Structure 1
């Protein structure tokens, strides 16, 4: 019950619109999943805050362009913004996107918001689809954009951000042994149709994200590399994330939304806070527009949790290598 009361309290917390960095008029931001939900609202804020360049990553160029047109009209900034195609179901699409990122003169933050909830079991690239989208492709994008973030931090004397959007559902007590109890490879263990349940798999993917973020941050001291890596929870909001869930789950979510949900705009404030936050957020969990490491349970931070974290990390790198998208961690973490 205390966790339930804490969730209700969090949902009713008044979230401020974060104050942008003083250099935002010179800054470049990438927002994935930018044509709807949190990504759309986050993008609108960046326009209103006078960010110099905002790149909207969207799976559908048509939907992305429609969203950009609306944002330009709403914010009276007709010459700002661009849409780049990004399909997280395809690692090759991630690589093509990252190749374009390398042509940028600077990158101040990647806000990796795009994700999926799968109602039905589906395999892609040898693993379950939401594992591919939410974890493998999302982290591949994080890895591939790191050099540009590092370069920008060094060249412009700023701290850049690699912000991954996660969920507080990953921190629930029933999640404690979902990963460490698996036999063999983590991604294989979570890709079995007979044990697939939508409202378990989604938190699993978000837990894997948190563990990967914490491990990556541990290898990249901000004082040396200038890049802040963090994970952010937008909270329970009205969004399109549940568009793929089954009828019964959707009914339950609808009822909860009526009682407790934030708007997508309110949720997007959390994304901005994490993308503007200081070194205290490095490797941390952010929620309610603040660093909330106190919400991270001991089973993640203790010795068992750290062992699981390293296991997830190694399995992630092995998976990327297996599908032909190897990561040179030594190169990324050597100054």
Structure 2
């Protein structure tokens, strides 16, 4: 992670609102976790930019409908937008959602914003909750959406985007995972009460996301898939991310936000930028509304980092297989 002074400078950087390079009146976008926070603001931007079809993916339909009603009222686009159910704490829900994706005529971008920061140790199907939601479910959705993104690229001559929201907290040296630390299954290693720490578990889940996105991008080059895949850091923003946190986490976040946070709307500009990013950015880490791979520490990008990345990816695929949600990467790569 960049030094503290660089972090402060970045927090106060001017973030220009991105603009699509082409007319998006026929385009379809999905934003997960869009009933509040960054996802809400991202979806609202897409409404204002004239996107033809915008799908708000949420766990609570009532909250999703309320958010959509507000966006429609504020943008004046009463006939645009739809709410789809998605619960990332259920892989079956991810599968049902993914089936609906395959029925779309086209998909121009999937913006995976939904995530959690846990304030206490809790497991789901033997995996710590934030790892389950932020990594396992998020990457399953990405993999299941890829066929539609690839199909859209070749059918409509477009360059769809797969965007996964991560965090610069994952880049701190204290979060680093070395090969010997994850000897064995990484999800088992990080899913014990002994290892769990409220201050490090969320960043660790986001680090696993970054590794997974980099591996996914390497397996699906734009020249073959037609899809641009990136991870994006929205920066420290006012949000409800720590709503599940304990008092210590919420207090620390309240202090940090009071001093340094950018508005949720400004943070969401990073998501929009990544959703419109060109193919030359493929596999990048986005921050401050641009591909900013120089922020990645060498322990992510060097040979040892690559070995850790491949280990995490293998464990991810094994975990999906063991839960009955296996992914055939070879078959997926063959799809056009």
Helix, strand or coil for the counterpart of 2:194?
helix
User: What is the distance in 1 between the residues matched to 2:56 and 2:333?
Assistant: 28
CA contact (8 A) 1:160 1:227 kept: yes
User: What is the distance in 2 between the residues matched to 1:38 and 1:184?
Assistant: 35
Task: Give the aligned length.
Answer: 335
The residue aligned with 1:74 is 74
User: What is the distance in 1 between the residues matched to 2:142 and 2:24?
Assistant: 21
1:204 matched to 2:204: yes
CA contact (8 A) 1:178 1:204 kept: no
The residue aligned with 1:83 is 83
**Change in 2 beyond 3 A, CA 1:169/1:218:** same
Question: Which stretches in structure 1 are left out of the alignment for 5+ residues?
Answer: none
User: What is the distance in 2 between the residues matched to 1:236 and 1:267?
Assistant: 8
1:191-270 equivalent positions in 2, closer than 5 A: 191-270=191-270
1:106-117 equivalent positions in 2, closer than 5 A: 106-117=106-117
User: What is the distance in 2 between the residues matched to 1:9 and 1:108?
Assistant: 33
1:300 matched to 2:300: yes
The residue aligned with 2:122 is 122
User: What is the distance in 2 between the residues matched to 1:176 and 1:118?
Assistant: 19
1:315-330 equivalent positions in 2, closer than 5 A: 315-330=315-330
User: What is the distance in 1 between the residues matched to 2:52 and 2:170?
Assistant: 34
User: What is the distance in 2 between the residues matched to 1:93 and 1:125?
Assistant: 15
The residue aligned with 2:56 is 56
Task: Tell me the alpha carbon deviations over residues 205-255 of structure 1, each in whole angstroms, 9 at most, x when there is no partner.
Answer: 000000000001001111121100100000000000011111122111111
Q: CA RMSD in A?
A: 1.2
Helix, strand or coil for the counterpart of 1:138?
helix
TM-score (norm 2): 0.98
The residue aligned with 1:135 is 135
TM-score (norm 1): 0.98
User: What is the distance in 1 between the residues matched to 2:57 and 2:242?
Assistant: 20
Q: Detail structure 1 runs of 4+ shifted over 4 Å in the superposition.
A: none
CA shift at 1:199, angstroms? 1.5
CA shift at 1:130, angstroms? 0.5
Larger mean Cα displacement after TM superposition, 155-164 or 19-28: 19-28
1:185 matched to 2:185: yes
Question: Which stretches in structure 2 are left out of the alignment for 5+ residues?
Answer: none
The residue aligned with 1:279 is 279
Helix, strand or coil for the counterpart of 1:333?
helix
**Change in 2 beyond 3 A, CA 1:2/1:205:** closer
CA shift at 1:125, angstroms? 1.7
